[in-house]
Structure 1
């Protein structure tokens, strides 16, 4: 999960997890924000493809750029960097996004343990220009 934390960190580029945000456990406002949810979900999908398909990789600079933009968005909603990082660092939130992304991938044809199925879905995401696809490239 270290790689997922690194992805999550880059996905929002915030700060640390201790104070603010109602004991750092009230993530509902961030969960309920459409942009936060859709971009983190797209990044989760791209991450899972990257993790399971050896020919597709994350565009780290693009991910970083989008992360800065998403952090700015969250801060415009009134959250501090610390609050956003608490959300991103939360193991339960990381697990929640994985639990959302995996069935979406399965619905699109991914079979656990079948590398080519991840690659096919990743290539389709790239082709249609989705958020997840914009974060991937093929070597």
Structure 2
């Protein structure tokens, strides 16, 4: 899960670190853009980890991270709050618990690389957030 942690941190904070503190994540969880983009990144990460043919577009991920960070700052979230949210093991586990069943609905099966590749290619074809983070 440490690679997912890095991905989420990279997407949302782009490597600038501050100390994490206890934060109520309710508002962050309820923001549709923040939730959807972090979930999309989680889906792309899981596809990348399970399909050797598809890879994360790291430069695109970085650009998305900068845009999402700017958006969150515009909503009034501090760097500390953003970092705490991304670093939270609870939040990372929550995103994985949402992403894995979504991938299963797309036909991805644990231990079946071809099924993850097919799900990834379908996301790429749809032009979804996750699909835009992947490349052949």
| TM-score bracket relative to the smaller structure | over 0.9
Query: Counterpart in 1 of 2:76?
Result: 78
Residue of 125, 130, 133 corresponding to 1:132: 130
Report the TM-score when normalising by structure 1. Answer: 0.93
Report the TM-score when normalising by structure 2. Answer: 0.95
Residue correspondence of structure 1 range 1-139 to structure 2 within 5 A: 1-13=1-13, 15-19=17-21, 24-138=22-136
Shift of 1:55: 0.7
Shift of 1:25: 3.0
Q: Please provide the CA RMSD for this pair.
A: 1.0
Shift of 1:17: 3.9
The whole-number CA distance in structure 2 between the counterparts of 1:17 and 1:120 is 39
* Count of aligned residue pairs for this structure pair: 134
- Partner SS for 1:112: coil
In structure 1, runs of 5+ residues without a counterpart are: none
8 A contact 1:17–1:83 mirrored in 2: no
In structure 2, runs of 5+ residues without a counterpart are: none
- Partner SS for 2:55: strand
The whole-number CA distance in structure 1 between the counterparts of 2:120 and 2:32 is 23
